[in-house]
């Protein structure tokens, strides 16, 4: 145990009775983009709603909606629920005495959430340290020079106490029915104050990732270390993620986070239509979009459709870049994007991006 240096869907029905729909089905089965001609009913022009194919105008209209974050009213509901949980945890005397900090994180905090899909996370970060060393770092020297020392009790014991205190505090504030303690990492608070919002509360330790020697001394990246109930560690760098995301937004003339939201909604659209067969977490979507260099977001002649397709094609090229792909990092710039401990694979990412480009067609 270590502590710091003192601060420590379509209905089939009569589907096949319609010749245009039969043609659409044939085009779909042969994987050929097909848009049947318009038929007229009572003077109205009607397009057959074939899943996965839209005109450029239709894509742009959808993207204009998809790129937006939640409404002001929804923001207020989300923030109200988050603040209720934060205030309840702030009243726990044990957490306060231990110096634990309650810090917002996740897609809502990073402003990459989509409408009606906010990821509301709070981390309860204990000052006790978890050390991580890069390959080649002299661990003995780094430990001594950093002024680290053992705090005595085990991570497991302290993690259990944190989960117990957090769980008891939340149940006392919101009732047992509102608190789900079964998660391996997070404790979930459900449906407060008549809101659909849920808040994931993640107990964690403070991470010092010692990365190597520079002329100014050893470089240490700060992060969080989550110990699951089954004893598995997850190391994250939420502050680096947030800072790099803000920088990318500015360097892409505010397009980065808009494209992230669009691609997240595109993923949901593909899933609803049965096109996407693999699990693609929102965090991975954000990291994949981040891979595209800034200039792919800022072509002045692009409309939304061209911009999204340009970015996705570039990401696909990057993912097909041979061994180079294994040195790619998450948005934080530290953790390997396709490391062995990730909840996704390179094949999943490639499949998703190629399917997304195909789904957009040649509008």
- DSSP per position, 220-254: EEEEEEEE-TTS-EEEE-HHHHHHHHHHHHHHTTT
Domain borders along the chain are 15-55, 70-236, 244-360
CA atoms of 7 and 319, how far apart (whole Å): 42
155-174 vs 72-90: helix axis angle to the nearest 10? 120
Highest averaged pLDDT of the listed ranges 15-29, 106-120, 174-188: 174-188
Within 10 angstroms of residue 21's Cβ, the number of other Cβ atoms is: 19
Please write the tens of the pLDDT for every residue from 285-320: 999 999 999 999 999 999 999 999 999 999 999 999
- DSSP per position, 184-209: SS-EEEE-GGG-S-EEEEEEEEEEEE
Residues 6+ apart with CB under 8 A from 317: none
Q: What CATH superfamily classification does 70-236 receive?
A: Beta Polymerase, domain 2 (3.30.460.10)
Q: Does residue 327 surpass a pLDDT of 60?
A: yes
Lowest mean pLDDT among 136-145, 186-195, 279-288, 348-357: 186-195
CA atoms of 322 and 20, how far apart (whole Å): 43
CA atoms of 48 and 362, how far apart (whole Å): 18
Q: What pLDDT does residue 77 have? A: 79
Please write the tens of the pLDDT for every residue from 193-252: 555 568 899 999 999 999 876 656 678 999 999 999 999 999 999 999 999 999 999 999
pTM: 0.80
């Amino acid at each position: 145990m270590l502590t710091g240096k003192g601060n420590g869907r379509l209905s089939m029905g009569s589907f096949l009775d319609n010749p245009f729909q039969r043609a659409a089905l044939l085009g779909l089965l042969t994987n050929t983009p097909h848009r049947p001609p318009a038929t007229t009913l009572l003077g109205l022009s009607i397009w057959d709603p074939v899943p996965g194919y839209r005109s450029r105008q239709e894509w742009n209209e959808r993207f204009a909606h998809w790129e937006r974050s939640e409404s002001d009213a929804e923001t207020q509901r989300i923030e109200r629920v988050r603040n209720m949980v934060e205030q309840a945890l702030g009243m726990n005397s044990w957490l306060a005495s231990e110096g634990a900090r309650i810090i917002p994180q996740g897609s809502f905090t990073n402003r990459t959430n989509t409408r009606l899909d906010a990821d509301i996370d709070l981390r309860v970060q204990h000052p006790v340290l978890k050390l991580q060393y890069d390959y080649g770092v002299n661990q003995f020297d780094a430990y001594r020079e950093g002024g680290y020392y053992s705090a005595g009790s085990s991570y497991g014991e302290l993690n259990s106490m944190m989960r117990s205190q957090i769980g008891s505090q939340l149940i006392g504030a919101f009732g047992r029915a509102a608190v789900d303690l079964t998660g391996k990492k997070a404790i979930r608070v459900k449906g407060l104050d008549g809101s659909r919002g849920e808040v994931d509360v993640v107990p964690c330790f403070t991470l010092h990732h010692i990365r190597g020697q520079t002329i100014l001394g050893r470089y240490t990246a700060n992060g969080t270390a989550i110990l699951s109930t089954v004893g598995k560690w997850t190391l994250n760098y939420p502050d680096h993620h947030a800072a790099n995301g803000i920088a990318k937004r500015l360097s892409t003339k505010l397009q980065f986070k808009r494209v992230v939201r669009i691609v997240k909604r595109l993923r949901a659209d593909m899933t609803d239509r049965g096109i996407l067969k693999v699990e693609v977490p929102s965090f991975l979507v954000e990291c994949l979009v981040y891979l595209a260099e800034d200039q792919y977001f800022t072509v002045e002649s692009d409309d939304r459709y061209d911009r999204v397709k340009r970015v996705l094609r570039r990401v696909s090229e990057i993912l097909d870049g041979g061994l180079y792909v294994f040195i790619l990092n998450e948005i934080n710039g530290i953790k390997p994007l396709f490391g062995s401990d990730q909840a996704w694979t390179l094949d999943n990412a490639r499949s998703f991006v190629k399917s997304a480009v195909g789904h957009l067609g040649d509008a």
